[in-house]
């Protein structure tokens, strides 16, 4: 079983102590975000083939990664570095520190561990197509020789994303927009050339309509890459978690509405104030990342169910 930690929130940035306590306990409890049903996930070494971490700041998590390595768990770190204006990303670590984190990961754990994510691409009056070309090239040059893959996609405008983007645009005086596919495809072509020049594979995440010759269909949860890190084959089938997703099967242990980076385009946060409340009530020693259950949890503990 591959553990995803987590596309629903940033565990490395904000919940590292909780992760470590659950690793020590050998399991965690997770709420199904659709049914609300709680279930148990084993974190024991004999049950876990590897971890895939999603983050915008791995700095607070570096001691926990060292402990994971000591215990023999293979892992990947998908690091989102975009260098957007603060109007779009309120509290993300600065790009210089993020690049240094990536360099540490590649040096300490090997070049297959860190994967750069320039994701999602947001078009606005402060992040135009030309901004993305210049910004992507600047970051790609800084990460050359550190990451061999960069994953990207264009922001999906869900109702909650539209509401948060609109509120931010009014507050900070910018305009956001969703351009025609021709504009996006032209940008992908240029990003692909930049990535190649910096010895990286450009991969497109869950948006196959933007795959052009030379770009790859992204496997963010990547059993092949994880096998390279582990030094042995990890048998997993492709089982995406949404339409167009080519991830390998995994079990995610995060919770929505709990990341406090304040990125106004985020699909995983419906209301930033709710995310801040969830973060404040978080118990690093709790079985759930965000505790919501009582009777159900006691029953689950008694049955010791493993999913």
Helix (H, G, I), strand (E, B) or coil at 209: helix
Instruction: Name 154's bridge partners.
Output: 121
Residues of the chain by 3-state class (helix, strand, coil), percent to 5: 40, 20, 45
How many C-beta neighbours within 10 Å does residue 50 have? 23
- What is the C-alpha separation between 91 and 225, in angstroms, rounded? 30
- Cβ(116)–Cβ(150) below 8 Å: yes
Helix (H, G, I), strand (E, B) or coil at 113: coil
- Cβ(84)–Cβ(122) below 8 Å: yes
Burial class of 47 by CB neighbour count within 10 A (0 to 12, 13 to 18, 19+): middle
Helix (H, G, I), strand (E, B) or coil at 112: coil
pLDDT tens for the chain, 307 residues long, are 999 999 999 999 999 999 999 999 999 999 998 888 999 999 999 999 999 999 999 999 999 999 999 999 999 999 999 999 999 999 999 999 999 999 999 999 999 999 999 999 999 999 999 999 999 999 999 999 999 999 999 999 988 889 999 999 999 999 999 999 999 999 999 999 999 999 999 999 999 999 999 999 999 999 999 999 999 999 888 887 788 899 999 999 999 999 999 999 999 998 899 999 999 999 999 999 998 754 444 445 434 444 4
Which residue carries 């005086």 as its tokens?
173
- Cβ(174)–Cβ(87) below 8 Å: yes
Instruction: Name 42's bridge partners.
Output: 27
Element spanning 107, H or E: helix 95-109
Q: Does the global pTM surpass 0.95?
A: no
- Cβ(123)–Cβ(129) below 8 Å: yes
**Residue 80 vs residues 27, 109, 297, 304: alpha-carbon distances, Å:** 27, 18, 33, 35
**Residue 139 vs residues 199, 239, 277: alpha-carbon distances, Å:** 13, 31, 33
Which residue carries 């279930």 as its tokens?
39
Domain assignments of the chain as residue spans, ordered by start? 2-295
Burial class of 103 by CB neighbour count within 10 A (0 to 12, 13 to 18, 19+): middle
């Amino acid at each position: 079983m591959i553990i995803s930690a987590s596309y629903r929130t940033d565990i490395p940035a904000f919940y590292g102590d909780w992760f470590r306590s659950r690793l020590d306990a050998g399991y965690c409890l997770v709420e199904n975000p659709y049914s609300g049903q709680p279930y148990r996930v084993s974190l024991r070494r004999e049950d876990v083939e590897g971890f895939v971490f999603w983050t915008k700041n791995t700095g607070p998590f570096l001691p926990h990664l060292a402990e994971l390595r000591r215990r023999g768990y293979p892992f990947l770190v998908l690091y989102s570095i975009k260098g957007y204006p603060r109007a779009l990303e309120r509290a993300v670590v600065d790009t210089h520190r993020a690049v240094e984190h990536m360099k540490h990961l590649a040096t300490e754990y090997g070049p297959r561990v860190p994967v750069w994510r320039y994701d999602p691409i947001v078009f606005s009056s402060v992040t135009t197509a030309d901004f993305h070309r210049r910004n992507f090239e600047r970051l790609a040059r800084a990460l050359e020789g550190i990451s061999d893959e960069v994953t990207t996609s264009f922001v999906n405008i869900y109702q909650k994303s539209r509401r948060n983007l609109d509120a931010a645009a009014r507050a900070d005086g910018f305009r956001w927009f969703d351009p025609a596919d021709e504009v996006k495809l032209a940008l992908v072509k240029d990003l692909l050339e930049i990535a190649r020049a910096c010895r990286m594979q450009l991969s497109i995440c869950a948006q196959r309509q933007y795959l052009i010759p030379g770009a790859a269909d992204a496997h963010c949860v990547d059993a092949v890459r994880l096998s390279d890190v582990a030094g042995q084959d990890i048998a997993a089938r492709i089982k995406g978690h949404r339409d167009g997703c080519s991830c390998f099967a995994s079990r995610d242990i995060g919770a929505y509405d709990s990341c406090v980076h304040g990125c106004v385009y985020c699909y995983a946060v419906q209301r930033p104030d709710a995310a801040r409340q969830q973060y404040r009530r978080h118990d690093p020693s709790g079985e759930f990342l965000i505790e919501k259950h009582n009777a159900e949890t006691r029953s689950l503990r008694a049955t010791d169910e493993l999913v």
